[in-house]
Structure 1
């Protein structure tokens, strides 16, 4: 019994220390200080920026098209005959000078016809001369007959007087009257001849005029036996050979001019509009504008050909504008002419500007001054820019874009010179976020160069 009490007492002795330990732990928890927290600091996002400035912009637009010769000459035979001569270099692709005899048609028949026509003219001229001589002779004969008629009339009067005196017979008077009538008949015949001679001469002159016209036709036909090049040309096609028979109206040669090449470049309408300032449109009628496009609008085109290692460029001029707009692509054709396309610049290498080459045409308008220009990459979602304010915080601002060109954007409103904009991406871009701006001078220099028209436009 005593042992049981001792064991119970030992167990009870464990409880007080436990209670004390628990109390100590509770006290320590309640009086323990939390970890010391440092205040949170805002981090700045690094970003490349540039200061907005007014600058001059050269508006540019790109178009593409195929090269065509300024003139295409088709040699169509105006007579028929056998080909008796062909220039030895008259072959596809050859370049021949103006005035060279390309081919000849047998002229024999036309030469004979020329000789016959000339002989007919000489014969007719002889007939006309004969008529003129007949007129002179007839007039002389008529003058003589008139004198004889006058004498015969006097003789008849004298014999009629003698008949009344009965010194001559009636038969003598009758004979004298018959002589008078014969004289009158002869004179009348000569008058009739004189009256008919002008009509005969007029008929002969008309025949002579017809023969002269025929002579000119024969001469023209004889000249048509020789076909010469009307300008310096590159031969595109030859469709006849030596000794072949050329039919009337047959196309035997096709040649392209080499002094001028043309490109019909398709340019979007909105890009064409920005090439021409409103000042240039004042006091310019549609007719005068089309008559002298270069002078009125100061458009400077450059034609380029790029294919692998082949690169060439030509300075062109705007010759005219197409008569219609493509409703599907909303483009207008600008016909650019290049003078002397076969004479390349010394600092360029490449082929001549030949037919059917697919080329790029860059049109440049007059310089537009005092424009707000930013890099195109600084535009976000089409109309937002990231402005860095004086406190280096981000301000997302909506701007109005005047036009886009290559890697730049011309701003109409929403930005002022002197403001800073971010030109690198911010992900995420939060309005009011702190920025660490770094001025990018290289980007500014590249922007100025592109605005001035330097570099490629894509």
Structure 2
């Protein structure tokens, strides 16, 4: 049974207001629609239109046409890579030795430790006996109390006089004994005559008793003679003993006089006092050190050589004089000692020196180098960079503790070459330039039709102002300033040492020079050992940057300014000529 629905009166649509929609179901606002349309359609279209207008305004860029290929000889020469070269010279042409540079420390040539040779109290000390004072050989420094030693000299002098008097007495006794011997001999002769007379008488004239009496007298005379001779022999032995005693006394006297002289302490050598250990009224024992003096007549420089540097010292033209010690001796090598004054740049003092010998034997266990000894005979005479003496007042002398540079002037017997540092390439390589005009020859494989087609392809377009300026620069190329050739790679170049380029000071003083560092400047050179005989004096090496070549050869053009020199000597040089040391000056930049 269906019951009709009864709607309340208060629930009619007329009596209730409309419901408010929720935020999730609310319709979008008009402002949101407008913003979406602006960012999604209007702005992108405006950017595209602006970009198109910008392209139209700037226009299009046409690719530049390549200039026509110049197939002439000068054009092919201009197309080659440019290089700058330098010529090498032999050591015989430069007249310079190989200079090996090592560091060293100045040490005393001799150090005299003056000790007390006698004991006693110091009663005198000279004013010059102070540390740092220069003293001469034989100069009196100290005196020790000599009273006891003077008494010893007097006592031994008196003893020597006594021995002398005893010898005189022995001589007198010997003289008396000789006289007695002469008398005894005469007595023996008389007694012998008496015996002979008794025996010569006829029988019965002399009794037996008389004959025996004469014989006893002869025996007594002989006995007296023997006694005198024995006494003379004893006196001779006594004199020998007295002479020995006199010599002993004389020896003791000289010892006493020596001890007396040793009470005066004098400088044994000429030099500077390093330290003094005793003062006035101090009792010193025998052997106690009083003064330490450094010999300044000569100076030693202690240095060390690497094994590769030692090889060049041993491999010289000179040989050791003593053939027996050749393996344990070094050839005498000239050297220049340089000292750079601290705090004053480019002020260098030099002295002549000589490498004489090893400083001991064997290698240093820490540095694995060979200690050597360099001697400076005259540490007060300054020289220039060539070793010639110069005069300069106020210059320092070589003293212990100075850190110096030692330049060994080597005369190697093997072949070397001096190469500019700019020519050395990584991996101990050198680019050698060989003049070769054949690199400009045109290949025969190019046909005229292909050449005409290539010319049509690269036909030039109308030139702009920039093209005309570039053409003017290219037209400035001068073929007479360039030489065609090829570059080949030379390996096994072993640098030994760098060369130093020095210039005299502005005031003309040759003892002070402005030194260019071996690692700076255009004149930096390296002395190298080269195994390839083609890289010798007269060869050309590339000193400008060059890339794209590892092995083989590369066609290039070289600036003729670096090819100047004795061309005939280079062309006539044998191919297998041994390499020698060279000195090359830095060239102009290409």
TM-score by shorter chain over 0.5: yes
1:50 equivalent among 61, 86, 90: 86
Residue equivalent to 1:398: 490
Q: Deviation at 1:203?
A: 1.4
Matching residue of 1:17 = none
- Indicate conservation of the 8 Å contact 2:419/2:583, yes or no: no
In the alignment, which residue of structure 2 is the partner of 1:90?
129
| 2:258 paired with 1:242 | no
Q: Retained in 1: the 8 A contact 2:81–2:556?
A: yes
Q: Is 1:361 aligned to residue 406 of structure 2?
A: yes
Describe the shift of the 1:73–1:398 C-alpha distance in structure 2 as closer, same or farther (beyond 3 A): same
Deviation at 1:195, TM superposition (A): 3.1
Structure-1 residue corresponding to 2:305: 267
Asked if structure 1 preserves the Cα contact closer than 8 Å seen for 2:496 and 2:527, the reply is yes
Q: Distance in 1 between matches of 2:67 and 2:584?
A: 53
Q: State the Cα distance separating 1:235 from its structure 2 match.
A: 0.6
Q: Which moved more, 1:282-291 or 1:318-327?
A: 282-291
- Distance change (3 Å), C-alpha of 1:174 and 1:396: closer
Q: Hey, what's the Cα distance between the residues in 2 that align with 1:283 and 1:180?
A: 82
Cα pair distance change 1:412/1:308, threshold 3 Å: farther
**Which SS does the other structure have where 1:118 is aligned?**
helix
1:324 counterpart SS class: coil
State the alpha-carbon separation in 2 of the partners of residues 157 and 433 from structure 1: 138
CA displacement at 1:134 relative to structure 2: 0.9
What is the 5 A alignment of 1:369-380? Answer: 372-380=417-425
Matching of residue 304 in structure 1 with residue 338 in structure 2:
yes
**Structure 2 residue 249 is the aligned partner of structure 1 residue 211:** yes
Question: In structure 2, what is the equivalent of residue 326 of structure 1?
Answer: 363
Label 1:423 to 1:146 Cα distance change in 2 as closer, same or farther (>3 A): closer
Alignment correspondent of 1:346: 391
Query: TM-score scaled to structure 2, two decimals?
Result: 0.58
Deviation per residue, 1:312-359 (Å, 9 max, x gap): 211112333334242554433332211231344535864210012121
Give 1:84 shift.
1.7
Alignment size in residue pairs = 407
CA contact (8 A) 1:66 1:356 kept: yes
In 1, Cα distance between equivalents of 2:584 and 2:232: 89
Contact persistence 2:355–2:372 (CA under 8 A): yes
2:155 — aligned with what? 116
Q: What TM-score do you get using the length of structure 1 for normalisation?
A: 0.73
Relative to structure 1, the CA distance from residue 179 to residue 53 in structure 2 (aligned partners, 3 Å threshold; closer, same or farther) is closer
CA contact (8 A) 2:297 2:379 kept: yes
**Match 2:296 to one of 229, 233, 258:** 258
CA deviation after TM superposition for structure 1 residue 421, in Å: 3.2
Residue 102 of structure 1 is matched in structure 2 by 141
1:177–1:347 Cα change, 3 Å: closer
**Paired residue for 2:526?**
408
The answer (yes or no) to whether the contact 1:82–1:245 under 8 Å persists in 2 is yes
Shift of 1:118: 1.2
User: Which structure exhibits the higher relative contact order, with contacts defined as CA atoms closer than 8 Å and separated by 6 or more residues?
Assistant: 1
In the aligned structure 1, how far is the partner of 2:89 from the partner of 2:195? 128
- Asked if structure 2 preserves the Cα contact closer than 8 Å seen for 1:77 and 1:247, the reply is yes
**Equivalent position SS for 2:318:** helix
Higher strand share: 1
Which deviations, in whole Å up to 9, do the C-alpha atoms of 1:119-144 show, x marking residues without a partner? 11111111111111111112323443
Maintained 8 Å contact 1:386/1:394: no
Question: CA contact under 8 A between 2:82 and 2:557: conserved in structure 1?
Answer: yes
Conservation of the 8 A alpha-carbon contact between 1:104 and 1:227: yes
How far apart are residue 453 of structure 1 and its match?
Answer: 11
CA distance in 2 between partners of 1:152 and 1:409 (Å):
111
Distance 1:197 1:370, change over 3 A: closer
The answer for the alignment partner of 1:194 in structure 2 is 232
- Any gaps of 5 or more consecutive residues in structure 2? 1-61, 70-77, 383-389, 440-483, 499-524, 566-580, 586-590
Q: Structure 1: 5+ residue runs without aligned partners?
A: 1-33, 445-449
Higher mean C-alpha displacement, 261-270 vs 360-369: 360-369
Name whichever of 363-372 and 254-263 sits farther off. Answer: 363-372
Aligned residue runs from structure 1 range 55-70, under 5 A = 55-56=91-92, 58-70=97-109
| Residue range with higher mean Cα deviation, 48-57 or 257-266 | 48-57
Question: Distance between the aligned counterparts of 2:100 and 2:312, measured in 1?
Answer: 9
Paired residue for 1:314, among 351, 375, 391? 351
